[in-house]
Structure 1
Amino acid sequence: MTPPPIDTDYLRDTLMDLLLTPSPSGRTGAVMQLIGEHIAALGLPMSVTRRGLLRTTLPGDRSDVGRAVVVHADTIGCMVKRLKDNGRLEVVPVGTHSARFAEGAHVTIFLDDLDRRYTGTVLPLMASGHTYGDEVDTQGVGWPLVEIRVDEPVTSAADLVALGIQVGDFVALDAAPQLTPAGYVKSRHLDDKAGVAALLAAVKAVRAAGRSLPVDAHLLVTVGEEIGMGATHGLDDTVAELVAVDNAVIAPGQRSSAFAANIAMMDSTGPFDYHLTRRLIRLAEEHGIPVRRDIFNHYRSDAAPAIESGLECRAALVGFGVDASHGHERTHLDGLVRVAELLAVYLTSELTFRQFDLTAEGSLEDFPSVSVQPAEPEPLLPPRERNG
């Protein structure tokens, strides 16, 4: 069986639109409006929580039990900490990332006045080899050792105040996306805008193919994953399975690939659900989708806050391979298509344990053990025949 065909042009164009819309954690309104437009174009209703999470549902044959796929629209960024006497800005990171990879970045500085913004560049304090010589190579790395040069005629803190710049203003690292002839996408913030694009492409494929869903599929777009507050709400106890979509780390010692769908077996919070991860791997293998298994040591995703907030469900992570994550990132369109294919197949498949997972709890004798991993589970009983 083959997955429903993915519209690669749609995936690529959607990704580029998302990358060109800045969205550091805490300032995600513009990108959520854009995502909402895409969801509306797919013919789906949606709602937004007080904190800005967006939720839509693909209706299935049953709504008393369902699954969720979660992506995040927020990215790493910076915030103005101090207006310096030399007319430059001291910043602190929003989200976890090193100043090493911010050096040289072009940035956009957002003011409280929504109609005003400025551009700039992140520079080390010793930015001129003609002035500092070899000291340029020996200075340390850290946020106190970089500053933002604002592209305006400013030489003092008073000049910055006159521009309207204040402590607490958001600074976005410009994505600067590029698509190479070989199909690579180079850009900041592929984490997790590539995941959003892949999910939207999967939903488009499912709807275009007219494939039915056995259960409701809730799609959740979060806005605080990079600061540890992703999928903290927006889902209820009818959700039996949750799949987060995020970057998979390409680096020495890792197995993830930019040309495959990658399944995380464990991250810094611990192992993912035994049965659901293996169900995803089996679905990929059955549908001819290249798949890799990997473990991420310094990593957490939207799955962690969902479980920590009390959501009683199985959780797994599907990743698109990213080289130099939270830095000068690169992935490949082929891998994004593979992730979209796996998501499309997953959305149209049955729950891993369709009988036991009807409710948040059941009897011990019915609880699936590690030796029970159904290749094709029994059909769901209709709601009236369900018993605890």
Structure 2
Amino acid sequence: MTTLDYLTTLTNIPSPTGYTKAIMDYVVGELEKLGYQPQRTPKDGVLVTIKGQNDRQHRLLTAHLDTLGAMVRAINSDGRLKIDLIGGFNYNAIEGENCTVHLAKNGKQVTGTILLHQTSVHVYADSGKLERQQDNMEVRLDEKVRNAEETRALGINVGDFISFDPRTQVTPSGFVKSRHLDDKVSAAILLNLLKTYQKEQTPLPYTTHFYFSSFEEVGHGANSSLPPEVIEYLAVDMGAIGDDQATDEYTVSICVKDATGPYHFGFRQHLVQLAESQQIPYQLDIYPHYGSDASAAMAAGAEVKHALLGAGIESSHAYERTHLDSIEATEKLIKAYLYSPLVP
């Protein structure tokens, strides 16, 4: 398995926040095959620890496996579904997307498509002007249902989770297009680094914890279950691309500030120096509407130095894209950090 293999596998396992058992089971299985003894936390995170030469001062790296998604909000009179969003994104980002409803009642799955109720331009004159919001958006089920009773007879109920088709593609030019690259790119990188460590067996200078979290998209992912010895906390998450952003699809992005405030200056500079010394292409950036597991940990009172880096992701929280160059640069910088001294 390569990083790209892990990525394509992860993106194809549905894992909207709150419905992550299948993907956590997969990660636990992979880690056990590699010879690790992963621990499951009470809030469904997965923690694996590598004992380092210094076992008094620890590091922790996180990547989250939960994604954007939705829940059944109501069953309409025509049998279609009204939805409620999980995570911070807009309805227009999922219009026309195929999806799967995961039935809590019987474990079955029902496919469908997320559409504006007034989609047909042959029927609705204002189709293009209507606001994409909860009252107008619905799931058209791929079942013969004409009313709410027939939909309920399938076993569908309020609160059933809805996942979006990832549509993962890797182009000949090296681009990776998929939903949920945030943050399955990072999780794939950490899995590959853990595999590489087992192969190389080069001792890490400090005991290091790898935490795969399951509630990042709703703001409280890896802010608990932190071993008390942890003094450095590195969140591996996406870099957002857009106007006034330095982040691109070909370098690793190092965040200096997000919506919660600045990241630790010394830690940031440590990552910059590692990138420059090893000729790893990078960008510094500010994400004005963004929070990470590291910033959530700080809000919860963690007494650590915190930093954030990740691959550059185009069209975040929609149909996302990055490039293999950015994934490679991110992986190189993380590996350089793992074998570096503590942040001054």
Query: Which one of 261, 273, 281 corresponds to residue 272 of structure 2?
Result: 281
Alignment of 1:25-44 (within 5 A): 25-44=17-36
Distance 2:135 2:202 in 1: 54
Unaligned runs of 5+ in 1: 1-8, 354-388
- Partner of residue 268, structure 1: 259
Q: Quick check: 275-284 or 113-122, which moved more? A: 113-122
Tell whether the 8 Å contact from 1:106 to 1:121 is kept in structure 2 after alignment: yes
Distance 2:243 2:179 in 1: 20
Alignment of 1:164-313 (within 5 A): 164-313=155-304
Distance 1:80 1:27 in 2: 13
Shift of 1:38: 2.1
TM-score (norm 2): 0.97
- Partner of residue 323, structure 2: 332
Alpha carbons of 1:114 and 1:218: their partners in 2 closer, same or farther (altered >3 Å)? Answer: farther
Distance 1:251 1:206 in 2: 35
Aligned residues: CA RMSD: 1.1
- Partner of residue 85, structure 2: 93
Stretches (4+) displaced over 4 A: none
Distance 1:210 1:256 in 2: 33
Shift of 1:238: 0.7
Secondary structure of 1:234's match? Answer: coil
Tell whether the 8 Å contact from 1:203 to 1:344 is kept in structure 2 after alignment: no
Q: What fraction of aligned residue pairs are identical, expressed as a percent?
A: 36
Distance 2:278 2:30 in 1: 27
TM-score (norm 1): 0.87
Letter in 2 for 1:262: S
Matched, 1:23 2:15: yes
Tell whether the 8 Å contact from 2:105 to 2:156 is kept in structure 1 after alignment: no
Secondary structure of 1:138's match? Answer: coil
For this pair of structures, how many residues does the alignment match? 344
Matched, 1:64 2:62: no
Tell whether the 8 Å contact from 1:211 to 1:348 is kept in structure 2 after alignment: no
Q: Quick check: 197-206 or 48-57, which moved more? A: 197-206
Distance 2:50 2:128 in 1: 54
The C-alpha deviation readout for 1:343-384, integer Å capped at 9, x for no partner, is: 11111111113xxxxxxxxxxxxxxxxxxxxxxxxxxxxxxx
Distance 1:349 1:39 in 2: 24
Unaligned runs of 5+ in 2: none
Secondary structure of 1:50's match? Answer: coil
Shift of 1:14: 0.5
Tell whether the 8 Å contact from 1:202 to 1:341 is kept in structure 2 after alignment: no
Letter in 1 for 2:52: G
Distance 2:147 2:154 in 1: 11
Shift of 1:114: 5.3
Letter in 2 for 1:327: A
- Partner of residue 44, structure 2: 52
The C-alpha deviation readout for 1:253-307, integer Å capped at 9, x for no partner, is: 1001211111000000000000001101111111111111000000000012211
Letter in 1 for 2:59: R
Matched, 1:11 2:20: no
Tell whether the 8 Å contact from 1:190 to 1:329 is kept in structure 2 after alignment: yes
Secondary structure of 1:202's match? Answer: helix
Secondary structure of 1:258's match? Answer: coil
Distance 1:170 1:212 in 2: 42
Shift of 1:51: 1.2
Larger radius of gyration: 1
